[in-house]
Amino acid sequence: MFKNAIVKKPGESMIYGITTANLGQPVYELAIKQHKNYVDTLKKCGLEVEVLEADENYPDSCFIEDVALLTKRCAIITNPGAESRKGEIKSIPDVLKKYYENIEYIKSPGTIEAGDIMMVGDTFYIGLSNRTNLDGANQMKEILRKYGYDAVFVPLKEVLHLKTGVSYLENNNLLVSGEFIESPLFEGFNKIIVPQDEAYAANCIWVNGHVLVPEGFSKTKEVIENLGYIVEVVDVSEFRKLDGGLSCLSLRF
Predicted confidence at residue 211, as pLDDT, reads 98
Amino acid 219 reads K
Instruction: Break the chain down into helix, strand, coil percent, rounded to 5.
Output: 35, 25, 40
CA-to-CA distance for 235 and 238, rounded, in angstroms?
8
State residue 29's pLDDT score. 98
pLDDT score recorded for residue 159: 94
For the stretch 46-59, pLDDT in tens is: 999 999 999 999 99
**Residue 188 burial by Cβ neighbours in a 10 Å radius (0-12, 13-18, 19+):** exposed
Round to whole Å and give the CA distance between 218 and 140.
Answer: 36
Measured at the CA of 160, the angle between CA 63 and CA 87, to 5 degrees, comes to 40
Q: Which residues are known catalytic residues? A: 161, 248
Cα distance between residue 243 and residue 85, in whole Å: 14
Confidence band, pLDDT 50/70/90 cuts, at residue 190: very high
User: What percent of the chain clears pLDDT 90, i.e. is strictly above it?
Assistant: 100
Strands 251-252 and 4-8: antiparallel
Which pLDDT tens digit goes with each residue over 151-178? 999 999 999 999 999 999 999 999 999 9
- The overall average pLDDT reported for the chain is 98
Helix (H) or strand (E) holding 117: strand 117-120
Given the DSSP bridges, would you call strands 123-128 and 117-120 parallel, antiparallel or unpaired? antiparallel
pLDDT of residue 209: 97
Q: How far apart are CA 213 and CA 227, in angstroms?
A: 14
* Dihedral angle of Cα 228, 66, 30, 196, to the nearest 10 degrees: -50
pLDDT given at position 145: 98
* pTM summary value: 0.97
User: H-type helices in 15-173, by residue range?
Assistant: 28-44, 92-96, 134-146, 162-165
- pLDDT (tens digit, 9 = 90+) per residue, 33-46? 999 999 999 999 99
State the average pLDDT over residues 99-109.
98
C-beta atoms surrounding 182 within 10 Å: 10
pLDDT of res. 34: 98
* 219-242 pLDDT, tens digit each: 999 999 999 999 999 999 999 999
pLDDT band at residue 99 under the 50/70/90 scheme: very high
What was the pLDDT predicted at 58? 98
The closest alpha carbon to 245, from 93, 114, 91, belongs to 114
Mind listing the domains of the chain with CATH numbers?
Answer: 4-252 (3.75.10.10)
pLDDT score, position 64:
98
